Chain A
Amino acid sequence: MIRRIGRNVTAAVFCLVWIFPVYWMVLTAFKPAGKILSPTPEFLPLDVTLDNFAGALAKPGFVQDLANSVVVVVSVVVLSIVVAFLAATALTRFRFFGRRSFLIGVLVLQMVPVPALVIPLFLGLKSAHLLDTLPGLILTYVALVLPFTIWTLRGFLHGIPVELEEAAMVDGATRGRVMRSVLLPLVLPGLIATSVFAFITAWNDFLFAYVIMKDSSGYTLPVWLVSFSTSTGTDYGGLIAASTLFALPVVVFFALVQRHLVEGMTAGAVKG
Chain B
Amino acid sequence: MLLEKAPTRERTPRVSLLPYGLLLPAAALLGLVLGYPLVRLVVISLQEYGLRSLFTGTTRFAGGDNYAAVLADPQLLPVLGRSLGFCAALVAGTLVIASGVALLLQRLGRRMRTAVTLSLIAAWALPNVASTLVWQWLFQPGYGVVNWLLTRLGFGDLTQHDWTTSPASAFTLVWLLVVWQSVPFAALTLHAGLSQIPRSYYEAAALDGAGPWRVHRTITVPFLQPILGLVTILSVIWDFTVFNQIWILTQGGPGGGTTTLGIWTFTRAFSRNDFGQGAAIAVVSVALLAGLTAVYVRRLVRSGEDL
CB within 8 Å of B: which residues of A?
7-8, 10-12, 14-15, 18-19, 21-22, 24-25, 28, 36-41, 82-84, 86-87, 89-91, 93-97, 99-100, 102-121, 123-124, 126-127, 139-140, 142-144, 146-147, 150, 158, 162-163, 166, 175, 200, 203-204, 206-207, 211, 222, 225-226, 228-229, 234, 236, 239-240, 243-244, 246-247, 250-251, 253-255, 258, 262-263, 265-266, 268-272
Contacts and interface: CB of A to CB of B under 8 A. Distances in A.
Contact of B34 (A107, A109, A207): A109
Nearest to A118: B266
A268 B300 CA distance: 11
Given A107-B297, A117-B37, A143-B29, A206 B129 contact: yes
Contacts of B188: 258, 262
Given A121-B37, A144-B33, A11 B133 contact: no
B253 interface: no
Given A108-B297, A109-B34, A239-B133, A90 B22 contact: yes
B209 interface: no
A19 B119 CA distance: 5
Contacts of A234: 136
A121 B33 contact: yes
Question: In the complex, which of the residues A110, A255, A272 has the most CB atoms of chain B within 10 Å of its own CB atom?
Answer: A272
B297 A15 contact: no
Interface string B278-295: 110011011001100100
18 contacts: A10-B104, A14-B104, A24-B137, A25-B130, A39-B143, A86-B23, A104-B301, A112-B289, A113-B286, A115-B241, A115-B262, A118-B266, A123-B44, A204-B127, A204-B129, A207-B243, A236-B140, A272-B306
Contacts of A250: 125-127
B26 A83 contact: yes
A163 B134 CA distance: 51
A262 B266 contact: no
A182 B265 CA distance: 48
Given A7-B108, A142-B29, A143-B30, A39 B159 contact: yes
Given A95-B12, A113-B262, A271-B306, A119 B41 contact: yes
B2 interface: yes
A95 B112 CA distance: 47
A269 B278 contact: no
B275 interface: yes
Given A123-B44, A144-B33, A262 B189 contact: yes
A144 B145 CA distance: 37
A100 B248 CA distance: 40
A54 B48 CA distance: 49
Given A18-B123, A96-B20, A239-B137, A86 B293 contact: no
Secondary structure at the A interface, as helix, strand, loop or mixed, is helix
Interface stretch (B3-11, B161-169, B200-208): B3-11
Contacts of A8: 108-109, 112
B225 to A, nearest CB: 10
A102 B27 contact: yes
Question: In the complex, which of the residues B22, B285, B286 has the most CB atoms of chain A within 10 Å of its own CB atom?
Answer: B22
B193 A225 contact: no
A67 to B, nearest CB: 18
Given A113-B241, A124-B37, A84 B137 contact: no
Nearest to B307: A103
Interface residues of B, number: 108
B275 A119 contact: yes
A255 B108 contact: no
Given A243-B134, A270-B226, 11 more contacts: A14-B119, A18-B120, A94-B13, A97-B2, A102-B23, A108-B297, A143-B32, A158-B306, A269-B229, A272-B229, A272-B303
B240 to A, nearest CB: 6
A36 B7 CA distance: 64
A243 B130 contact: yes
A263 B188 CA distance: 10
B230 A251 contact: no
B197 to A, nearest CB: 11
A269 B240 contact: no
A140 B237 CA distance: 19
B102 to A, nearest CB: 11
A19 B129 CA distance: 17
Given A100-B307, A254-B121, A115 B145 contact: no
A229 B33 contact: no
Contact of B266 (A115, A203, A263): A115
A157 to B, nearest CB: 12
B271 interface: no
B32 to A, nearest CB: 7
A163 B119 contact: no
A117 B34 contact: yes
B30 A106 contact: yes
